[in-house]
Amino acid sequence: MELSDIQTFAAVARTGGITRAAEELNTVQSNVTQRVKALEAEIGTPLFERHSRGMALTGAGKRLLPYAQRMAALSREAVLAARDDGEPKGPLAIGSMETTAAVRLPPLLADFHRRFPAVRLSLRTATTADLVAGVLDGTLDGAFVAGPIAHADLTITSAFREELVLVSARRWASLAELRAGTPESGPTALVFRTGCTYRQRLEQVFVEYGWPSAARFELGTLDGMIGCVAADMGVTLLPRAVVERSAMNGSVAIHTLSPSHARAETLFIQRSAGHQYSALEGFAACLKKDDQVIAA
Amino acid sequence: MELSDIQTFAAVARTGGITRAAEELNTVQSNVTQRVKALEAEIGTPLFERHSRGMALTGAGKRLLPYAQRMAALSREAVLAARDDGEPKGPLAIGSMETTAAVRLPPLLADFHRRFPAVRLSLRTATTADLVAGVLDGTLDGAFVAGPIAHADLTITSAFREELVLVSARRWASLAELRAGTPESGPTALVFRTGCTYRQRLEQVFVEYGWPSAARFELGTLDGMIGCVAADMGVTLLPRAVVERSAMNGSVAIHTLSPSHARAETLFIQRSAGHQYSALEGFAACLKKDDQVIAA
DNA sequence: GACTAGCATTCACGAAAAATGAATTCTAGC
DNA sequence: GCTAGAATTCATTTTTCGTGAATGCTAGTC
């Protein structure tokens, strides 16, 4: 049993089909078929149930899958550990919420790059849910997500504290005015795609304000969102710092919320198991240092 | 990077040489050389320092080695987990100290085989040190060893309590007589090979009796040992039950020791990480059941 | 200081395994 | 019954792996 067999198996399990797995692995179907069959022969029991629209895991397959994932993760870590002589260098994949990336990360990343120029940092923005998944499956080395969160396989450190504020067009000078001037069902909520924690928070706020069924409008970018708010398309919930540093700051009104709604903590997560990757260690060190500056 | 590369690497690291590793892996040197070189090329850093009498791990190699071992162990477990549908069956490798195998295991194994005839149990006897190593590296699924012992990766359960007694030829009716009738330096100590916990215990007893430099005579088998004692070649330390059930019981004298020396616990150890292997689970269940009978 | 023994490396070649692409089979849905 | 999507089979090509002989390197020996 070789690692490539394991990875083939995992790809088929994940995609639920030979064809899709083959595409993902950059090879042809027949090849995948044969590898899977060979693996089944070696283990001595079928791993998939074949039915006409794809493959489903059998009991044995379900038992094997977590091992496959752990082995794949281990092999990735092994190479990093061997290459890693303690000097931060090489690739480092960091994930972040859009909002954090906009205002908190630029100075941090600048500092990090100054201290560890040999690290090739890549930044991916996504929702908290996707980021957690990314860190767990090894796609990301670490990520900034919205708290609270808890997971046995994650090491979690507090990174930033944010004050969430409701943002509306400038014409609404106060929350009271906004509530008075909008229809019964409430204003349109401008939100990120599903998985974003701030979106859930906004839903709570809307429920409290008696707008449980207000319209939703999904946007993919932060600037787009603030732009739409400025154009009075609706309201949204964002960290105060994000709005204040936005180019559109003058065109929107900021409404302070009660502490229970406003308080939001941004956490930095990384896998807890295994080798401490130097580049990631260096990043965490920067984060800690900057955090102290921020706290001071 | 494939698992076979990893195993080749591990073999070279363990044996400290290409030639020896090749022998162990049933292949030729040139092949091992090439696999190692390919692995080094893939990782991008040398894993071994070549010097004229073999290979020594570099820093990178040292960092890689634990991953190699964990990956090898995982792949073994993965196959077992996939094959294991909850019904105890297939191979089960149990290790035991010679003494435990002689008197405690026969009824236990009989019971186990009656309940789970589909399991192909194999029993290996070795010293406590070897057994612990065997369980940790996956060669054994579980083992009976002499306590006390502690290790983060081992699940330890108490299996049997033994009373260790000093065994001498029959002519020595008491400890006092034995001490009076032997030379200044003490009697010859008949011991198992290094790594046996009872041997260490015997050394302690000898030190206490003022015989720190008594002669040692190493034997490989339990029957041989009792036979030699009967022939007055020397004395040894064994669980009381072992001596009493031995065929030579009438030919030797048993001397009770102080509780601190006499008390010995036999532990059952298994790896704590990973899948609970059904055959091993069944074995542990038998052990627990029998243990209660013994305790009653 | 040449010699030898033990080990690792290089290289060319044959054998084995994996990838490929075309043909085939299967089945749900029309 | 036909079609589209999916898996399998099979002959062929490509790649990789394992082998054995030759070579190179170094420590210990005479």
pLDDT tens string B39-58:
999 998 999 988 878 889 99
pLDDT value at residue A296: 38
* Residues of B whose CB is below 8 A from A4: 2
Q: Among residues B166, B195, B11, which one has the least CA distance to residue B95?
A: B195
Tokens of B240: 């009381």
Tell me how far apart the alpha carbons of residues A230 and A165 are, in angstroms, rounded to a whole number: 15
Half-sphere exposure of B16 (CA within 13 A, CB side): 5
Strand C bases, protein C-beta under 7 A: 6-12, 18-23, 26-28
Residue A60 pLDDT more than 60? yes
Nucleotide D30 C1' to residue B53 CA (A): 21
- Percent of the residues in chain B that have a pLDDT greater than 90, as a whole number: 20
| Cβ atoms A48, B67 nearer than 8 A | no
Tell me how far apart the alpha carbons of residues A125 and A105 are, in angstroms, rounded to a whole number: 11
pLDDT value at residue B291: 63
pLDDT value at residue B181: 76
Residue B43 has its nearest CB partner, among A47, A63, A79, at: A79
| A21-27: average pLDDT | 90
Strand D bases, protein C-beta under 7 A: 5-11, 17-22, 25-27
Sign of CA dihedral B190, B196, B197, B203: positive
Tell me how far apart the alpha carbons of residues A201 and A156 are, in angstroms, rounded to a whole number: 21
| A224-244: average pLDDT | 86
Top CATH class of B3-82 equals mainly alpha
pLDDT value at residue B295: 43
Confidence of residue B9 (pLDDT cuts 50, 70, 90): very high
Nucleotide D15 C1' to residue A38 CA (A): 19
Tokens of A144: 């900034």
pTM of the model: 0.76
Q: What topology is assigned to A3-83 in CATH?
A: Arc Repressor Mutant, subunit A (1.10.10)
pLDDT value at residue A201: 86
Better-scored residue on pLDDT, A296 or B164: B164
Instruction: Kindly list the domain boundaries of chain B, sorted by start residue.
Output: 3-82, 85-160+265-295, 162-263
**B152: DSSP letter:** T
Q: Does A2 touch chain B (CB under 8 A)?
A: yes
pLDDT value at residue B145: 92
| B61-79: average pLDDT | 91
Residue B121 pLDDT more than 60? yes
Confidence of residue A190 (pLDDT cuts 50, 70, 90): confident
Residue A65 contacts by C-beta under 8 Å, 6 or more apart in sequence?
A9, A10, A13, A57
Confidence of residue A274 (pLDDT cuts 50, 70, 90): low
3-state secondary structure B65-108: HHHHHHHHHHHHHHHHHHHCCCCCCEEEEEEECHHHHHHCHHHH
pLDDT per residue over A81-129, tens digit each? 898 888 888 888 999 988 888 888 888 888 889 888 888 899 998 888 8
Confidence of residue A295 (pLDDT cuts 50, 70, 90): very low
Per-window interface: A 246-275 vs B, CB < 8 A: 275
What is the average pLDDT value for chain B, to the nearest integer? 85
| B289-296: average pLDDT | 54
pLDDT value at residue B244: 84
pLDDT per residue over B176-196, tens digit each? 787 777 777 778 888 877 667
pLDDT value at residue B274: 62
Pick the CATH number of A162-263 from 1.20.1070.10, 3.10.20.740, 3.40.190.10, 2.40.480.10: 3.40.190.10
Better-scored residue on pLDDT, B34 or B274: B34
Tokens of A120: 């090739």
Residue B89 pLDDT more than 80? yes
* Residues of A whose CB is below 8 A from B85: 59-60
Tell me how far apart the alpha carbons of residues A210 and A193 are, in angstroms, rounded to a whole number: 23
In chain B, the residue whose alpha carbon lies closest to the alpha carbon of A57 is B82
Q: Do A67 and B61 touch (CB under 8 A)?
A: no
How many contacts (CB atoms, under 8 Å) link A and B?
84
Q: Do B64 and A43 touch (CB under 8 A)?
A: no
Q: Which of the residue ranges A16-25, A54-63, A147-156 would you say has the lowest mean pLDDT?
A: A147-156
**CATH code that applies to domain B85-160+265-295:** 3.40.190.10
What is the average pLDDT value for chain A, to the nearest integer? 85
- Axis crossing angle, helix B59-83 with helix A29-43, rounded to the nearest 10: 80
Q: Residues B275-291, buried b or exposed e (16+ Cβ, 10 A)?
A: bebbbbebbbebbeebb
Confidence of residue A180 (pLDDT cuts 50, 70, 90): confident
Phi and psi based region of residue B147 (left: phi greater than 0; alpha: psi -120 to 50; beta: remaining):
beta
Q: Does B153 touch chain A (CB under 8 A)?
A: no
pLDDT value at residue A194: 66
Better-scored residue on pLDDT, B125 or B214: B125
pLDDT value at residue A290: 66
pLDDT per residue over B196-214, tens digit each? 788 888 888 888 888 887 7
Please name the nucleotide lying closest to A19, CA to C1'.
Answer: D6
pLDDT per residue over B225-241, tens digit each? 888 888 888 889 989 98
Same fold, A3-83 and A90-159+266-295: no
Confidence of residue B296 (pLDDT cuts 50, 70, 90): very low
* Residues of B whose CB is below 8 A from A275: 63, 67
pLDDT value at residue A144: 93
* Residues of B whose CB is below 8 A from A84: 63
| A242-256: average pLDDT | 82
| B96-111: average pLDDT | 86
| A121-150: average pLDDT | 88
- Percent of the residues in chain A that have a pLDDT greater than 90, as a whole number: 21
Confidence of residue A33 (pLDDT cuts 50, 70, 90): very high
Contact between the CB of B35 and strand D at under 7 Å: yes
How near does any CA of chain A get to the CA of B35, in Å? 14
Q: What topology is assigned to A90-159+266-295 in CATH?
A: D-Maltodextrin-Binding Protein; domain 2 (3.40.190)
pLDDT value at residue B34: 93
pLDDT value at residue B26: 92
